[in-house]
Amino acid sequence: MTTQPDEVLEAHDVSVSFPVRGHGIWPFNRGRERLAVRAVQGVNLSVRRGEMVGVAGESGCGKSTLARAFVRLQPATGGRVTLSGTPIDDLPALHLREQVQMVFQDPYNSLNPRRTAGTIIMESLIVHNRGTTAERRRLAVEMLERVGLTEAHFDRYPHEFSGGQRQRIAIARALILDPKFLVLDEPTSALDVSVQARIIALIEDLRRHLRLGCLFISHDLNLIGYLVDRLAVMYLGRIVETGPVERIFADPLHPYTAALMAATPKPVAGAQTNRAPLEGEIPSNVHVPKGCPFHTRCTKRIGAICDTVLPEPRMVDDREVRCHLYNEAPLAPAPNGGPA
């Protein structure tokens, strides 16, 4: 008896770079290294069917670029993304879209203003040649009702909806093909707080009932802590810590994770923290610091080892962390901040 392969969307050592415009143009580039924005560097991350995985980090750390690489909207310049073991670059576009869909940050810009809500949702059924016109309308109405709208909204245009309603339409469009995986790129950041709560409740309900595998991108750690099963913390294009969300929140291992949480407002009145807040600016992802990319802001820096050697990811209990503090042979700071 043969078994089906695990349904998993997975990044294997994925990198995404963008050449810097105007740099390296002949004949002015002779003897000069071509500059590139290294948005994502060597990321390994998996999402299994029925699992919600969060990616958190400061603005500019590469979260959205990684999300777009997962759905082939942004080609990886290194590594590969696979769907149940098959590289997504080898899959026909229509087959990939049946399996993996994306919900974008701004629901107004992601919807065609010249199409009604119903035709926006039905468009995927038309492209994939599913059903008759009557069947497509029936399915679209059912999906509108599933996301909390009604048939009365079918013939309305995007500008006639509120922000939360537009995001519901975007979610309905993503789910109409019954995909296995959903990539959500900060789907609530453009919405009011009260509307955010309703959209989050909708996403969680749909995830459980449809057994979706979800990659949830957000800079809001309070939201991440409430919603996801597993968390990946990203800094300057690299994932620095991954593990069960409750374990990371209870005891963050990487100094960046701890500092990021200290800088996050606590939802409980009077909550205190002893962790040092994050200081300084994130470095340029064109001129990425040598060694550990976080060493320029780290209060636990270990001399020259952090300045020159990129830490390898290591398993610490049920988490993976990329930090020299967790080397097999622990290093102690040398006098005057020199090499250990």
Give per-residue pLDDT as tens, 189-248.
878 888 888 999 999 999 999 999 999 999 889 899 989 999 999 999 999 999 999 999
| Domain limits for position 304 | 253-266+275-340
291 lies in some domain: yes
Distance CA 327, CA 324 (A): 5
Q: Cα 91 vs. chain centroid, distance in angstroms?
A: 22
pLDDT at residue 59 tops 70: yes
Question: By three-state DSSP, how is residue 62 classified?
Answer: coil
Distance CA 177, CA 124 (A): 7
178 lies in some domain: no
pTM of the predicted protein model: 0.88
pLDDT at residue 340 tops 50: no
75 lies in some domain: no
CB atoms under 10 Å from CB of 83, counted, come to 22
pLDDT for 332: 45
pLDDT more than 90, % of the chain: 69
Domain count, the chain: 1
174 lies in some domain: no
pLDDT for 107: 85
* Segments of the chain assigned E as strands: 8-19, 36-48, 52-56, 78-83, 86-87, 100-103, 181-185, 213-217, 230-235, 238-244, 314-316, 319-321
pLDDT for 103: 96
pLDDT at residue 169 tops 90: yes
207 lies in some domain: no
DSSP secondary structure letter of residue 143: H
Beta bridge partners of 186: none
154 lies in some domain: no
Indicate the range of 6-10, 272-276, 332-336 predicted with least confidence: 332-336
pLDDT at residue 333 tops 50: no
74 lies in some domain: no
Distance set, CA 34 to CA 16, 30, 38 (Å): 15, 10, 12
248 lies in some domain: no
Which has more confidence, 42 or 285?
42
Residue (of 196, 240, 236, 198) closest to 220 by Cα position: 196
Contact (CB, 8 A) for 278 and 300: no
Mean local confidence (pLDDT), 26-44:
76
Residue (of 264, 269, 261, 247) closest to 319 by Cα position: 247
Strands in 8-19's sheet, in edge-to-edge order, are 36-48, 8-19, 78-83, 86-87
At 265-307, the pLDDT tens digits run: 776 655 565 555 667 778 888 888 899 999 999 989 888 899 9
Which has more confidence, 242 or 24?
242
Which has more confidence, 138 or 4?
138
Q: How does residue 324 score in pLDDT terms, banded at 50, 70 and 90?
A: very high
